[in-house]
Amino acid sequence: MPILKAFPLGLPLYGTTTVILADGTTANKLTALGKAHLGVETNFGVIILEPNSSDVLIGIDFLRRFEKVLLLHTHKPAVILEDCKVVDAALSRKVTKENTQLPQT
Q: What is the pLDDT along the chain (105 residues), one digit of tens a residue?
A: 999 888 898 989 999 999 898 899 999 999 999 888 877 888 888 899 998 888 888 777 777 777 777 666 666 666 655 555 555 544 444 444 444 444 444
**∠ Cα 28 7 13 (to 5°):** 50
DSSP letter at 13 equals: E
Res 42: pLDDT: 87
Q: Other C-beta atoms within 10 Å of 78: how many?
A: 18
Pair 37, 68: CB distance under 8 Å: no
- Look at residue 104 in the predicted model and tell me its pLDDT: 45
Domain boundaries, the chain: 1-56, 68-105
* Cα–Cα separations (whole angstroms), residue 22 to 8, 16, 19, 34: 29, 19, 10, 25
d(C-alpha 56, C-alpha 71), whole Å? 19
